Amino acid sequence: MLSRVAETVYWLSRYVERAENIARFIDVNYNLTLGESESLSKQWTPLLETTADQDEFVKRYDSPTRENVLQFLSFDEQNGNSMISCVARARENARTIREVISSVVWEQLNKFHLLVQAAGHSPQTLEQPQAFCEQVRLTSHLLVGAMDATMSHDEAWHFSRLGRMIERGDKTSRLLDVQYYNLLPDGGSVGSSLDVVRWSALLRSASALESYRRLRGKIVPIRVAEFLMLDRKFPRAMHFAAMRARESMRMITGSELNSYCYHSEQLLGRLCSSLDYAVIDDILQDGLHEYIDQFQRQLNTIGQEIHEDFFSVDRLNAPPQASVMT
C-alpha cells in the first residue's frame, strides 16, 4: 500500500473524529452554562484547552466569550482544528483517494461538508448550537458506519481505524482532564448536586451516560473517571481506543501477539500494557491530571512514530525487524 494513501486515509479519519469531538465539547458546555450564573456562563476558556489552541485564539479574539469561542471552534477557517477546517481537510483527503473509499463514504463526506458550510452562514447556529452539534455527531457516525459497511477491511480500513482510535483516545482524555480540573467553580462543590450534574454531563459528552448507569449505577466521580479511562468495552474509553488502535496496527504490520516490527507498534503495545494493569485508586493517588498528561504525551509520540514508520520515505526504506515485546 502506498504510504501516501495510508497517510491520507489515516488523517481523514482523525479529522472526522476531531470534528465530532469538538461538537461534543460545545454541546455539553453550552447545556451546562445555559441559564446559569454569570460566573459559570463565562467558562468557555477551558474548551480552548481541549484543542490546545489558546495562543491562536488570543491572536484574533478580544475575549473568550461564548460567541467568540463558538466561532473559533466551529467556523474559523484560520483555525486548523475548527470543525469547518477539519471537515474540509477530510473531504480534500477523500478526494485524493477516491479509488480507495466507497462512493457512499464520498457522498457522506460531501454532505458533511455542505452541512458545516451552511451552518457557518446561519447566525442562528451560534445562538443555539445544540441542533448543529447533534447533526455533526450523527453525520460522523454515519461516516464511520459507511466505512465499516462498504469498505474492505484491508490495510486502508485499518489505517482509518488506527487514526480514529488515536484521535478518540486523545480527545476523551482531554475532555476528562478539562472538565474535572477547570470547570469546577470551587472545591466546595465537590460531592454537591452541581458536581453530580457535571459528572453526568461529562458522561453525556462521551455518549456514556446510559452505559455507565447500566453497569455502575450511581454517579460517583471516581467511578466515572475509571469508566472513561480504563473500561475495555466502552467505545469511547481511553483503554478501548488504545486496544483497538493496537489491533489495527497488528493487522497492518502482521506482527505476532506480544511482538512488534516498528517503534510505533512497540510504544502502542507498552501503552496498552500499562492500561491493562492500571488501577484507578493508584492513578488518583499519583494525580489524575499527571496520568492523563502522560497518556497524551505517549499518544503524541506514538502519532509521530506512526508518521516516521509508515509515511516517511526515509524510514520506509529500512526493512522492519520483528522483536518480542518487553
Q: pLDDT tens digits for 262-299?
A: 999 999 999 999 999 999 999 988 888 899 999 999 99
pLDDT score at 184: 52
pLDDT score at 23: 94
pLDDT above 60 (res 216): yes
What integer is the mean pLDDT of 44-49?
Answer: 80
Residues of the chain with pLDDT > 90, as a percent, come to: 62
pTM of the model: 0.90
pLDDT score at 44: 81
Please answer whether residues 20 and 108 qualify as being in contact, where contact means their C-beta atoms are separated by less than 8 angstroms: no
pLDDT above 90 (res 307): yes
pLDDT above 90 (res 18): yes
pLDDT score at 158: 97
CA distance 159 to 226: 28
Q: For the chain, what is the mean pLDDT?
A: 88
Cell of residue 90, nine digits: 477530510
pLDDT band at 150 (very low <50, low <70, confident <90, very high): very high
Between residues 213 and 189, the one the model is more confident about: 213
pLDDT score at 109: 96
Distance of CA 87 to the CA centre of its chain: 14
pLDDT above 70 (res 191): no
pLDDT above 90 (res 37): no
User: Within 13 Å and on the Cβ side, how many CA atoms surround 277?
Assistant: 5
pLDDT score at 262: 92
CA distance 244 to 250: 10
Among 1-5, 122-126, 219-223, 303-307, the least confident range: 1-5
pLDDT above 90 (res 114): yes
Among 57-61, 92-96, 102-106, 247-251, the least confident range: 57-61
